[in-house]
Amino acid sequence: MRYLVLGDVTIVVDLGSSERVIYDDRIERATEELRREVNSLSADSPEKEDALVRMKHAELAIRNTENGYWISAAMPQVADYALVGQVALSEVKSISMLTDGAARAVDIFKLGKWRDMLSLLSNEGPNALIRRVRATEYSDPVAKRWPRNKVSDDATVIFCDLSV
């Protein structure tokens, strides 16, 4: 099985006794200082909006550049900068693809580890994960307990169980 990752997508490959998590962190690394500033501010503060605009402008300035990050958009050559790899299909129990809004269940909210997320997806499906993310976001409406640049983000999950 081959994979290609760009932008705000996380792929989690369940190998049975372990999992392989593939994500592109170049946007976070490229705007780390600005992101830290945005995340330090309460979502209901006027300063947050100003800091968020500065961060978004900085992100756009380095989008699809050598020292920045890569988003496919309408530029097929961007695939040359993707994170690519492969895993023997015979070893794969399941594969999950998540936008950053869904992956925040593990990487921001710490609602469990990746293994817990895989178990939830296998037993209850993607809707259960998204419901937990939404409930957690709503429980922290000003992004103080779990600092983040958006109170709520798009959350999409694709789960393929290959063990059945």
Res 77: pLDDT = 87
Return the H-helix or E-strand segment holding 9.
Answer: strand 9-14
Res 89: pLDDT = 94
pTM score: 0.89
Res 1: pLDDT = 92
> 118: closest CA among 139, 97, 146, 147?
97
Res 75: pLDDT = 83
DSSP string, 62-104: HBTSTTSB---TT-GGGGGGSEEEE--GGG-SEEEEEEHHHHH
Res 94: pLDDT = 97
d(CA 73, CA 163): 34
How many other CB atoms are there within 10 angstroms of residue 162's CB atom? 13
Strand partners, 72: none
Domain residue spans in the chain? 2-161
Q: Which phi-psi region, left, alpha or beta, contains residue 112 (left: φ > 0; alpha: ψ -120 to 50)?
A: left
Task: List per-block mean pLDDT (blocks of 10 residues) for the chain, which spans 164 residues.
Answer: 92 96 92 92 91 93 90 85 94 96 97 97 97 98 92 96 88
Residue with tokens 């178990």, as numbered in its chain? 119
